[in-house]
């Protein structure tokens, strides 16, 4: 995985630490039933580190404004994510809750932030990194295929199924990225992040930003 060699591993570790901070804060707010504050964090409104997918496209306010009982539904969805034993159930939970503007990109970030030991992020950054691996480090091919997801109308059934399918493919690639990232970070005298999927998310973020 030669594409990872040039990454700035101290920066990757800093990014990872920010996500862990948000993870802990989110669990604290959820446990204390501070529903509005929890939703603002986990939808990237009060802190973009809470949900990059939502923050980049200003989806958090839309989720809260366009859905009935939105805060309560987001809170309860996160509760379901926290109880999952398999992240492959994440798309089904998102589909069942059925919040407008909250599909797999935003929802998978929520799942990972509340249950990072089992759930991974399926957003533009991690999908692009997965595609780079799939195409043997061919960034151009990854860019071309990514457009299918970037331009998708995620409110449609066909596009939802496309995102659902790629979500399932990410488990293996994110684990592989995390393992290779651990090796490279250690060679650069940086302590890798112990939470596999948040560590992989930090690596994917750095690689995407670099390219």
Mean pLDDT value across the chain: 92
Question: Residue 20 in contact with residue 49, Cβ under 8 Å?
Answer: no
Whether residue 52 is predicted with pLDDT greater than 60 in this model: the reply is yes
Query: Tell me: the pLDDT tens digits for 120-142?
Result: 999 989 999 999 988 887 888 88
Whether residue 160 is predicted with pLDDT greater than 80 in this model: the reply is no
Paired tokens of 102 = 């909250």
Confidence (pLDDT) at 130: 92
3-state secondary structure the chain: CHHHCCCCHHHHHHHHHHHHHHHHHHHHHHHCCCHHHHHHHHCCCCCHHHCHHHHHCCHHHHHHHHCCCHHHHHHHHHHHHHHCCCHHHHHHHHHHHCCCCCCHHHHHHHHHHHCCCCCCCCCHHHHHHHHHHHCCCCHHHHHHHHHHHHCCCCCCHHHHHHHHHHHHHHHHHHHHHHHHHHHHHHHCCCCCCCCHHHHHHHHHHHHHHHC
Question: Residue 130 in contact with residue 166, Cβ under 8 Å?
Answer: yes
Rounded mean pLDDT of 11-39?
Answer: 98
Query: Tell me: the pLDDT tens digits for 79-105?
Result: 999 999 999 999 999 999 999 999 999
Return the residue matching tokens 């990232």. 181
CA distance 111 to 105: 10
What's the number of CA atoms in the CB half-sphere (13 Å) around residue 193? 28
Q: Where are the domains of the chain?
A: 2-210
Confidence (pLDDT) at 144: 85
């Amino acid at each position: 995985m030669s594409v990872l060699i040039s990454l700035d591993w101290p920066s990757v570790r800093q990014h990872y630490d920010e996500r862990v901070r948000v993870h802990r804060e989110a669990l604290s707010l959820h446990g204390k039933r501070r529903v509005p504050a929890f939703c603002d964090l986990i939808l990237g409104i009060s802190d973009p580190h809470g949900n990059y997918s939502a923050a980049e496209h200003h989806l958090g306010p839309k989720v809260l404004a366009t859905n009935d009982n939105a805060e309560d539904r987001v809170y309860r969805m996160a509760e379901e994510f926290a109880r999952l034993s398999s992240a492959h159930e994440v798309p089904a939970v998102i589909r069942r809750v059925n919040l407008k503007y909250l599909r797999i990109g935003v929802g998978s970030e929520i799942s990972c932030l509340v249950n990072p030991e089992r759930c991974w992020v399926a957003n533009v950054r991690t999908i692009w990194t997965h595609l780079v691996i799939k195409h043997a480090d061919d960034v151009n091919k990854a860019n071309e295929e990514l457009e299918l997801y970037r331009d998708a109308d995620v409110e449609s059934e066909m596009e939802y199924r496309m995102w659902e399918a790629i979500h399932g493919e990410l488990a293996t690639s994110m684990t592989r990225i995390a393992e290779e990232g651990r090796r490279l970070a250690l060679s650069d005298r940086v302590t890798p992040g112990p939470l596999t999927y948040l560590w992989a998310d930090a690596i994917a973020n750095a690689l995407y930003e670099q390219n």
